[in-house]
A and B are shown apart, each in its own frame.
Chain A
Amino acid sequence: MAPVFGISPWMGTILLPIIFIVVLGGAGSMLGSVLGGLIFGMTTAFGDYFIGSGVAQIGLYALIGIVIFFKPGGLFGHEEEMGL
């Protein structure tokens, strides 16, 4: 990430979106994480351009919420793999 974005002490604040990417894709599934990251990155980038950053992120988190509600294990995971 450093060559693209530069570094700062606040880089760690990306931790929360990362957790949601993993949960969206499904914990324990590599493909799920890749797809979750793809959805997250694409929605953020295109949303920034077309409908504004705030609305795009709200929509994205609402989407993640719907996925968690209907499929608590994520798109490609199983619920019991979270160990919670």
Chain B
Amino acid sequence: MKKKWDCRRMRIPLKKPIGLLALLLFVLALPLLVNSPYFVHLMIMVAMNSVLAMTFIMLLRAGLLNLSVAAFWGIGAYASAVLVMKLGFSVWLALPASTAITGILAFLVGIILIRSGGFGFVMLSALVGMVTVLVFGTFDVFGGYVGIANIPPPEPIILPFFGKVAFASKVPYYYLMVLLFMLVVAVFSAFYAAWSGRAWRAIDLSPPLAMTLGIDIFRYRLLAFVVGSATAGLMGWFYVGYFGAVLPSTFDMFKTFNIQIYAILGGLGSAFLGPVVGTFVMTAVPEFLRIAKDIEPIYTGFLLIVLVLFFPEGLMSLSAYWRRSEGGPEGIARIGRWAKALLPVSKKV
């Protein structure tokens, strides 16, 4: 894989406050403009999946190919489901509790996983991904393979200007998701901008060189693993509150592969916009292509192959082309070459 991290794309463009503010207003006004519960649901799913893709990219920045994203997402979801259903926690109290449980588990598992390094980490994290689903399916505390159903939604909250907000329709969940999304982006960009982000980049470029600079590789990789997994656990809490049910098969390896597709399609070079673009394309396009539900994966698969063929560095390489900076026009040039090869007529014109 070609390593080309652009550090400009790792941060939020705070120097363009008007654009950011306009984007925020647009995102906040979206449910009022569209007024379709289905569309709001799609946007919620895009936001949740793109946060999961962001955690995948964060681990990749530290030089680790993580195959246990969906497992920790599931651990967060099951922690919150068990806390609410079996131990009688309120759903809001389960938010910090399930995130903390996921973080502590990630810390304990990460000590073993990261010590094994490189290839061992890939295989062991895949094992964690498979064993987690098996544990959820086997033991009765987790409800077996039928999962846990009828989990109550978050309790109504009282806000200063809006009065009592009940989580009855999809719109309050949308605003909750926007809030969580902004929180995650803020925390992640703080980690990227701080010393830890530079340490991750050094580790990713060359671990031995990073070691000579006095960077404790194990500690910084563990930090990335714990932060990423705890964020995935936070999304698990949201999933439980939103859907009200958990199934072990939701959190299996195929979900992890889907998350990877979101991240790679958007472009691994950008930490925030890439996952959002990739997730949006992979979530929205199958919905629009839904001519017949049974053959929709065929179209989606074909589209995915075409996109990866033309844009191996992700859809974000398009934006680099429009900015006329270096390294961007690869995909466009490739389309041009293919078009020339396919259409000999164009040479005469």
Contact = CB atoms under 8 A, between A and B. Distances in A.
A76 interface: no
B183 interface: no
B134 interface: yes
A72 B120 contact: yes
A68 B127 contact: yes
Interface residues of A, number: 19
Contacts, number: 49
A6 B118 CA distance: 38
Nearest to A65: B127
Interface string B107-129: 00000100111111011101100
Q: Chain B interface secondary structure, helix, strand, loop or mixed? A: helix
Given A16-B253, A69-B124, A61 B134 contact: yes
Nearest to A16: B253
Contacts of A82: 119
Given A72-B119, A84-B118, A84-B122, A55 B127 contact: no
Contacts of B127: 20, 61, 64-65, 68
Nearest to A71: B120
B250 interface: no
Most buried by A among B115, B131, B135: B131
Contacts of A52: 138
Nearest to B129: A16
Given A16-B253, A58-B134, A84 B116 contact: no
A79 interface: yes
B138 A65 contact: no
Given A54-B138, A55-B138, A68 B123 contact: yes
Contacts of B126: 16, 19-20
Most buried by B among A16, A19, A55: A16
Interface of A: 16, 19-20, 23, 52, 54-55, 57-58, 61-62, 64-65, 68-69, 72, 79, 82, 84
Report, nearest first, the 9 A-B pairs whose CB atoms are least far apart: A54-B138, A84-B119, A72-B120, A65-B127, A61-B131, A68-B123, A58-B134, A69-B116, A61-B127
8 contacts: A20-B127, A57-B134, A61-B130, A64-B127, A68-B123, A68-B124, A69-B112, A69-B120
